[in-house]
Structures are given as structure tokens and as C-alpha cells.
């Protein structure tokens, strides 16, 4: 048996850190993930780089920001007929499964892909189990892809991915080479109509009497209404799938459904961890649980993604993600209170797999968390916890222990956007925008300068929307960027 660890990376779809018991929620039932945190290390302040699905997945697998890899929003797979044959949005980069395979790992994707054409294995994944689209309109009766077979699966897709992960582990037992298994579940999701009505899963009854007191009761932000007005103006209508920010507020039945999907994932993770134990793989497997991005559930009057508002929100709930790491030499029962980015997963997992820093294709802001996980020494540059950066098209943000600053793109003259500044010590719920406060002028200017310096360092001109670059993905409003760069501006695909 190799002395290099197996790596099992779970990724939930649209789950804020707040939606786990081990992060302080007393209303959701997540016993298996709470137990995982108890025997591993929980990161209290982990943040994603973008609050949409495809960009975050791309960033985890490449260690790059959206303005480096080109995905700024979700990939609209209704346009798959216009994509190049067997196209993967991040194939040009040195992705994590590629470098781990080169280091001798067997690689598997078992879950949601949403980074290009799903019908053939991508990104050096040896084992390929997914489903045919990126969005979930229903958890049931989905067409799935099981290596090169396609068929209809009647049950819950999360259960399907759990069963297939267990099959993969049973096949790997006794093998000499280590494995990297990426298990990106397509739940809890939180979007209409997937969570419309009472859940059909076995955990629905846990929440039938829940009053949902862990969910804020707030009116809609004006920025949410602005976003939908612009969407209707530009597209003429809004698909039901994207009406959640208008339909979910205080819809207790849908919220209970959403919570039940979290418990279903927790149960699936528990089954997989029991399988590791049964097969004798647990001692040599690093287990990571995280999410692609967070999800606002009424916080600051926003429901859903950061891009559920316009300009996009930089508030905590949409970007704060769970991050739990257990196994190997990871300290048991530890909690890390400093800021970390999901970009840090790339160099951390590359180093754990013996692939060095992973040789990212471009300069990466990701940092190896190995010293934090083991407790041996300090982070390599002493700046590990100082700041994290995020971007959502027209919004770029920095979060420090003291401040949240959201810088807005000001080059679209038809749109009057303003920056935002929040004092996180005095105003932890981020309700009072201090951008016009005379006493905070220097603080605001310094933070905006940090944002500009960061993106000047890490953006690639062809994908930097703020300098006229174009996105590989959908963008929220074509008209916004055409206002800045002219009527011929369009996404690349």
C-alpha cells in the first residue's frame, strides 16, 4: 500500500457554512458531518471566490480566479450545441486531477460536472459518473452518465452519486495506487423548482414542524428587485428555475425541503465514511467536505447567489462556505479561525498528493494549508489569514478580519454603481454601508487599492471583464458590458 494518502473531496452545491450543525445551526440535522469535524479540522472562515457554480468549481480545480480561467458565471448548457466538440472550459489549465494522475493517482469524478460537455470523461478523470446537465430542476428521474453508459435513474440523484462512490471505493480496496475521488453532489441546491413543496426524501419528516428560526425574516433588498427588472428588460422573461430569489422568501415549506436535502447529503457522506472504515481505507484517506459557494437565505434581504442582486452582493452568506478536513496527519478536533480561500485547496491537495505545488498554469493566490492542518510550523508567508478576495463580474471584494469592501466596476456609464464598506467588528451583520462616511475615507481608499493591486497581479487580459476581456461563460447582463465596451461585446461562447 502506498504511503501517499487517498484524497476524497466532497463538494455540496449551494450550501452556506451556516447550514451545518458544527457551524452552529441548531435546526439542521447533520450528525455525520459534525462527527467528521470533531475528528478533523474545521475552518471557521473559509470563503469562495465567486458565488456561482461553474466559476467556483473551476477555481478549486485550477487554483485560479475567475478573471484568470474565464468563467465568471454559470455555464448555460442550453448552449451546448454551440460549444466545441467535447469542450471542457478549463482544459487549457493544469487542473488538479491532471497533476494528481501524473503523480500516480487513480482519479474519479462522481457527481455534478458543470464545466463543459459532460458526455465524455474530462480533465484526466479515469472514472466518470455524472449527469447530463448542470442545473437541477428535480432530484428525481434524471438521465445519468455512468462512464460511457447513459440511462435514466428514477431515484434521488444524490443517492445515485453516493452509491456510485461506494462502488468506486470497493473497487479500489487492495489497489496499490492511491486515489483522488471528487464527489460534487448536486444538492442541497436551494433553487426553485427542485425544492418546491414538501421534500420526497426520507428526511422530510425531520423538518415538518420546524419553524425555520435559523433563517432571517427580512424583506427583499432593492438590489434583488433591480436584478430581476434588468433581467426581464434584457431577456423578456425569467425561467421558473431562476425565480427562487423572488419565490423563496419566507416560504417555509421550500426551506424545510432545502434543509432535508442537507440531511440527505449528510447521510450519504456517513455511508461513504462507513465504507472507508469497512474496507480499511480510512487510516490512509484525507476527507474534505466543502461547497462550491454559499447561499443567502434572507441575509441582507437576498435569497440565493451573490448574483441574485444587482450589483452583485459581496455579503458573507453567499461566500462563506464549509471547509472540514479530516484524516492523515490532520489535527483532530481543531478549529482554525483565520481567513482561508477555496483557492487554497489546489496547492494543499497537490502537496498532500506529492505533486509539489501543483505547478499551476498561471500565478495563483492559493496557499498550502498543510502547516495549519498538521500544526507544524506557521503558514509559509505569514499572511495566510490576512485577507480573501472575491469577484462577481462587476463586483470585486476584499474581506479582512476587520473590513468588507466591495469595489464596483465604474466604466459602464449607463449604470450608476457604488462601492460598499462594512466594519465587521462594529457591524458583523454587514448592514451599515460606510462608504460615504468622512472618517473612513482613508480606509476605503486603501482597501480599494488592495483590490486593484490583487486583480492587476492575477487577472488575465483575455478574461478580465474590467479591462475589456470576455467571459467563456454566461454573464448576468450582456447589456452592462456592452455599455462599457461597445455593442459588439459578447461572451466567447
Alpha helices in 279-309 (DSSP H): none
Q: Are 380 and 59 in contact (CB under 8 A)?
A: no
- Integer Cα distance of 369 and 482 in angstroms: 40
pLDDT tens for residues 222-265? 888 788 777 766 766 666 566 667 777 778 999 999 999 999 99
What backbone torsions phi and psi does residue 350 show, to the nearest 5 degrees? Answer: -60, -45
- Integer Cα distance of 92 and 464 in angstroms: 17
Report the pLDDT averaged over residues 100-104.
Answer: 95
- Integer Cα distance of 489 and 38 in angstroms: 50
pLDDT of residue 361: 75
- Integer Cα distance of 475 and 422 in angstroms: 27
Cell of residue 69, nine digits? 480561467
- b/e for 76-113, b at 16 or more Cβ within 10 A? ebeebeebeeebbbbeebbbbbbbbbebebbbbbbbbb
- Integer Cα distance of 150 and 128 in angstroms: 12
Instruction: Give, as one character, the DSSP assignment of residue 212.
Output: -
pLDDT tens for residues 53-80? 999 999 999 999 999 999 999 999 889 9
Burial of 230 (0-12, 13-18, 19+ CB in 10 A): middle
Sign of torsion over alpha carbons 478, 484, 486, 489:
negative
375 or 407: which leads in pLDDT: 407
Confidence band, pLDDT 50/70/90 cuts, at residue 1? very low
- Integer Cα distance of 322 and 151 in angstroms: 33
pLDDT at 382 over 60: no
What backbone torsions phi and psi does residue 485 show, to the nearest 5 degrees? Answer: -115, 0
- Integer Cα distance of 412 and 464 in angstroms: 15
- Integer Cα distance of 30 and 323 in angstroms: 14
pLDDT at 385 over 80: no
Cell of residue 311, nine digits? 450589483
Confidence band, pLDDT 50/70/90 cuts, at residue 358? low
* C-beta neighbour count of 416 within 10 angstroms: 8
- Integer Cα distance of 81 and 108 in angstroms: 26
Sign of torsion over alpha carbons 488, 462, 72, 74:
positive
Q: Are 294 and 188 in contact (CB under 8 A)?
A: no
Over the chain, what is the mean pLDDT?
93
Report the pLDDT averaged over residues 8-19.
Answer: 98
Bridge-based pairing of strands 395-399 and 403-408 is antiparallel
When mean pLDDT is compared across 12-21, 102-111, 249-258, 350-359, the lowest value belongs to 350-359
Q: Which of 89, 216, 199, 76 is nearest to 140 (CA)?
A: 199
pLDDT at 10 over 50: yes
Residue count of the chain: 493
Q: List, in order of start, the domains of the chain with CATH numbers.
A: 6-386 (3.40.720.10)
pLDDT of residue 223: 87
Cell of residue 259, nine digits? 434543509
- Integer Cα distance of 31 and 403 in angstroms: 33
pLDDT tens for residues 113-169? 999 999 999 999 999 999 998 999 999 999 999 998 999 999 999 999 999 999 999
pLDDT of residue 232: 65
DSSP-derived 3-state class of residue 280: coil
Q: Are 135 and 305 in contact (CB under 8 A)?
A: no
Confidence band, pLDDT 50/70/90 cuts, at residue 187? very high
390 or 233: which leads in pLDDT: 390
- Integer Cα distance of 428 and 229 in angstroms: 30
pLDDT tens for residues 308-328? 899 999 999 999 999 999 999
Q: Which residues are CB-contacts of 156 (< 8 A; sequence separation ≥ 6)?
A: 139, 140, 200, 201, 264
Q: Which residues are CB-contacts of 382 (< 8 A; sequence separation ≥ 6)?
A: none
When mean pLDDT is compared across 77-81, 192-196, 247-251, 487-491, the lowest value belongs to 247-251
pLDDT of residue 54: 97
- Integer Cα distance of 163 and 77 in angstroms: 26
Amino acid at each position: 500500500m502506498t504511503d501517499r494518502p487517498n484524497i476524497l473531496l466532497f463538494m455540496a452545491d449551494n450550501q452556506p457554512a451556516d447550514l451545518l450543525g458544527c457551524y452552529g445551526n441548531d435546526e439542521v440535522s447533520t450528525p455525520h458531518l459534525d462527527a467528521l469535524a470533531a475528528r478533523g479540522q474545521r475552518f471557521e472562515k473559509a470563503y469562495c471566490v465567486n458565488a456561482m457554480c461553474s466559476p467556483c468549481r473551476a477555481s478549486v480545480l485550477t487554483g485560479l480566479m475567475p478573471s484568470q480561467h474565464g468563467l465568471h458565471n454559470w455555464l448555460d448548457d442550453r448552449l451546448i450545441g454551440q460549444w466545441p466538440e467535447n469542450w471542457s472550459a478549463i482544459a487549457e489549465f493544469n487542473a488538479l486531477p491532471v497533476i494528481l494522475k501524473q503523480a500516480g493517482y487513480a482519479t474519479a469524478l462522481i457527481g455534478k460536472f458543470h464545466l463543459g460537455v459532460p458526455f465524455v470523461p474530462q480533465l484526466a478523470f479515469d472514472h466518470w459518473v455524472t449527469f447530463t446537465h448542470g442545473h437541477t430542476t428535480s432530484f428525481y428521474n434524471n438521465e445519468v452518465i455512468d462512464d460511457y453508459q447513459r440511462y435514466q435513474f428514477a431515484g434521488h440523484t444524490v443517492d445515485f452519486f453516493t452509491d456510485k462512490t461506494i462502488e468506486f471505493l470497493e473497487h479500489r480496496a487492495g489497489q496499490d495506487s492511491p486515489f483522488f475521488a471528487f464527489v460534487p453532489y448536486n444538492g442541497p441546491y436551494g433553487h426553485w423548482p427542485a425544492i418546491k413543496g414538501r421534500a420526497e426524501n426520507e428526511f422530510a419528516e425531520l423538518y415538518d414542524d420546524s419553524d425555520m428560526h435559523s433563517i432571517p425574516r427580512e424583506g427583499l433588498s432593492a438590489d434583488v428587485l433591480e436584478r430581476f427588472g434588468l433581467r426581464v428588460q434584457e431577456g423578456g422573461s425569467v425561467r421558473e428555475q431562476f425565480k427562487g430569489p423572488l419565490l423563496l422568501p419566507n416560504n417555509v415549506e421550500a426551506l424545510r425541503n432545502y434543509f432535508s436535502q442537507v440531511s440527505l447529503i449528510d447521510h450519504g457522506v456517513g455511508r461513504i465514511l462507513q465504507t472507508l472504515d469497512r474496507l480499511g481505507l480510512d487510516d490512509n484517506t484525507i476527507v474534505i467536505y466543502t461547497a462550491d459557494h454559499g447561499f443567502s437565505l434572507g441575509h441582507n434581504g437576498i435569497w440565493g447567489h451573490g448574483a441574485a442582486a444587482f450589483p452583485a452582493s459581496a455579503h458573507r452568506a453567499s461566500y462563506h462556505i464549509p471547509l472540514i478536513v479530516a484524516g492523515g496527519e490532520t489535527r483532530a478536533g481543531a478549529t482554525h479561525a483565520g481567513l482561508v480561500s477555496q483557492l487554497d485547496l489546489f496547492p494543499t491537495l497537490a502537496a498532500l498528493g506529492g505533486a509539489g505545488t501543483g505547478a499551476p498554469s498561471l500565478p495563483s493566490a492559493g496557499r498550502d494549508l498543510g502547516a495549519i492542518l498538521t500544526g507544524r510550523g506557521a503558514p509559509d508567508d505569514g499572511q495566510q489569514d490576512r485577507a480573501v478576495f472575491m469577484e462577481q463580474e462587476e463586483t470585486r471584494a476584499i474581506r479582512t478580519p476587520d473590513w468588507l469592501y466591495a469595489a464596483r466596476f465604474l466604466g459602464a456609464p449607463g449604470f450608476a454603481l457604488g462601492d460598499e464598506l462594512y466594519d465587521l467588528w462594529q457591524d458583523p451583520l454587514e448592514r451599515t454601508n460606510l462608504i460615504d462616511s468622512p472618517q473612513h475615507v482613508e480606509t476605503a481608499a486603501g482597501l480599494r487599492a488592495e483590490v486593484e493591486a490583487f486583480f492587476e497581479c492575477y487577472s488575465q487580459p483575455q478574461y478580465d471583464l474590467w479591462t475589456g476581456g470576455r467571459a467563456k461563460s454566461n454573464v448576468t447582463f450582456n447589456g452592462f458590458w456592452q455599455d462599457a465596451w461597445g455593442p459588439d461585446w459578447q461572451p466567447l461562447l
